[in-house]
Chains A and B, each alone.
Chain A
């Protein structure tokens, strides 16, 4: 029984640690996006996937059932912080998609690749924003 209790506490600590690690991985991915560091972004993406797989395999409500309210509050706070970070991450990824979409549209409009000169579409009254 004591052994079970110790195991459970260990699992609870691991769960909390994973939630915090996921938050850290998301924050690092956001920072990598800001710095245009694709390698670091992909590395953090892989970390996120691994942690997410482990977290989804755990039923946290069952794991923390009957534990001290302070610990449950700690988990709730960790979940809330993660949720907020995830909102920022999702909104940022949406913006990155928008930037990528613009660049793809630009490449298409030039056919053979990026050229700093005026677009052939400009003479037809088109603009980058129209093209996008």
Chain B
């Protein structure tokens, strides 16, 4: 049977529960502008009733927990988008540097090819003219210089990215260390059935930062979160973080390893993934194409030279040193400095220009790679342009996608002031009512005591 004391106890519990709910509401209002904050909900539950015979007496209310409103799917998608956006931004930044090398159509290898073949064409009317021949050699040297410059500039961009990669690995290690510390405490709270609240928000924020650096998979376990790279290399397990190491690889680039295993090629997403993509795939691909162009053009042009005769009546000798394989563009060199050695003649006579058609044909004939030298170079420039445009489009799409996801997250987890004001009034009224119950019971108890004192005071 209920008593004044049990009613007093119920009212006190109600006061406590409403106080907790008011705290949660007040915390929500205070954090309405805090980035990454998830609103908290007060979860009430009915206290276990007391059963006496046929009667069941309610025992009031309990504040079961303060729960943060989180949407795991949205958080997962936002993490993914952060990775993709950061990756695209890193790629775009690096590709813009690459594109600048090829941006001016009046300079560089493409323009050099045109100038070189135009000068050879000039020889058709004056095949014996030394100044005209010298102009051919000068433009050939310009072509060689620009092959060198392009190769060296690409190497330089690659080196810059390599330094960035090492810095990003260090940032990842610092973040995983911080996450592990928080994760341990979050895990302890979860094991006790408590809501991690703002610690959970802090952890989410740090994981979002980590996601901007590389792909992160999250696995919820009894000991908190386990974080791995996209390919499953552990980064954080419970309260322990696993640092990534950097070593100098055989190619001169920084390799990334975890517990002795090279994981460089398996890292994707985020700034690190984007920079690795340009450093290890895009730039080496471009260098290979430039090397092939230098090598195939050299072979093709030297063969055309060999089919004619120079001004001295000798078989044409190679104009360019044979070069092939990696570094062919950097190793390209002009081996002829005497303008009379250009093989314009087809029969060894000085006035002949018969071999010029063979030399000029190099400009329009397909190289083994499938297109003529000018088109091969134009394709390469267009490829860089497409990669840059695609990276830019990915940034735009990620920005739109993040806007969409954040709008939705804000609607679910963000603080709505109208809703919080309504809650505040409800909890306030509930608190006032519970306080009224306490004062009523207090007054009743006093009456009972007075009644008691009246009895004893009676004569």
Cross-chain contact B397 with A35 (CB below 8 angstroms)? no
Cross-chain contact B73 with A128 (CB below 8 angstroms)? yes
Question: Taking the nearest CB of chain A, how far is it from the CB of B28, in angstroms?
Answer: 18
Cross-chain contact B400 with A30 (CB below 8 angstroms)? yes
Cross-chain contact A103 with B401 (CB below 8 angstroms)? no
Cross-chain contact B396 with A34 (CB below 8 angstroms)? no
Cross-chain contact B408 with A92 (CB below 8 angstroms)? no
Is residue B390 contacting chain A, with contact meaning CB distance below 8 A? yes
Q: Which of B339-389 contact A (CB under 8 A)?
A: 389
CA separation between A96 and B77, bound complex, in Å?
10
CA separation between A84 and B407, bound complex, in Å?
25
- Name the B residues within 8 Å of A130 (CB-CB): 219
Chain A residue at minimum C-beta to C-beta distance from B408: A36
Chain A residue at minimum C-beta to C-beta distance from B221: A125
- Name the A residues within 8 Å of B81 (CB-CB): 95
| Neighbour of A103 across the interface among B73, B219, B221, B407, CB < 8 A | B73
Chain B residue at minimum C-beta to C-beta distance from A125: B221
Is residue B335 contacting chain A, with contact meaning CB distance below 8 A? no
Cross-chain contact B73 with A102 (CB below 8 angstroms)? yes
- Name the B residues within 8 Å of A106 (CB-CB): 73
CA separation between A84 and B395, bound complex, in Å?
12
Interface size on A, residues (CB 8 A): 28
Is residue A71 contacting chain B, with contact meaning CB distance below 8 A? no
Question: Taking the nearest CB of chain A, how far is it from the CB of B442, in angstroms?
Answer: 41
Chain A residue at minimum C-beta to C-beta distance from B77: A99
Is residue A122 contacting chain B, with contact meaning CB distance below 8 A? yes
Is residue A46 contacting chain B, with contact meaning CB distance below 8 A? no
Is residue B82 contacting chain A, with contact meaning CB distance below 8 A? no
Chain B residue at minimum C-beta to C-beta distance from A35: B407
Cross-chain contact B401 with A95 (CB below 8 angstroms)? yes
Question: Taking the nearest CB of chain B, how far is it from the CB of A43, in angstroms?
Answer: 18
Contact A87 to B219, CB < 8 A, known contacts A98-B77, A129-B76: no
Is residue B106 contacting chain A, with contact meaning CB distance below 8 A? no
CA separation between A98 and B407, bound complex, in Å?
17
- Name the B residues within 8 Å of A127 (CB-CB): 218-220
Is residue A19 contacting chain B, with contact meaning CB distance below 8 A? no
Question: Taking the nearest CB of chain B, how far is it from the CB of A121, in angstroms?
Answer: 10
Cross-chain contact B220 with A91 (CB below 8 angstroms)? no
- Name the B residues within 8 Å of A34 (CB-CB): 400, 403-404, 407
CA separation between A33 and B401, bound complex, in Å?
8
CB 8 Å contact bits of B137-173 with A (1 = contact, 0 = none): 0000000000000000000000000000000000000
Contact A84 to B77, CB < 8 A, known contacts A96-B401, A129-B217: no
- Name the B residues within 8 Å of A83 (CB-CB): 389
CB 8 Å contact bits of B64-100 with A (1 = contact, 0 = none): 0000000011001100110010000000000000000
CA separation between A64 and B72, bound complex, in Å?
53
CA separation between A62 and B405, bound complex, in Å?
44
Chain A residue at minimum C-beta to C-beta distance from B88: A91
Cross-chain contact A33 with B407 (CB below 8 angstroms)? no
Choose among B84, B221, B393 the residue with the greatest number of A CB atoms under 10 Å from its CB.
Answer: B393
Cross-chain contact A128 with B72 (CB below 8 angstroms)? yes
Chain A residue at minimum C-beta to C-beta distance from B390: A87
CA separation between A34 and B399, bound complex, in Å?
9
Chain A residue at minimum C-beta to C-beta distance from B216: A129
Cross-chain contact A95 with B397 (CB below 8 angstroms)? yes
B residues at A contact (CB < 8 Å) = 72-73, 76-77, 80-81, 84, 217-221, 389-390, 392-394, 396-398, 400-401, 403-405, 407-408
User: Can you give 11 contacting A-B residue pairs, CB < 8 Å?
Assistant: A30-B400, A35-B404, A35-B407, A88-B393, A88-B397, A90-B393, A92-B396, A92-B397, A94-B397, A96-B401, A125-B221
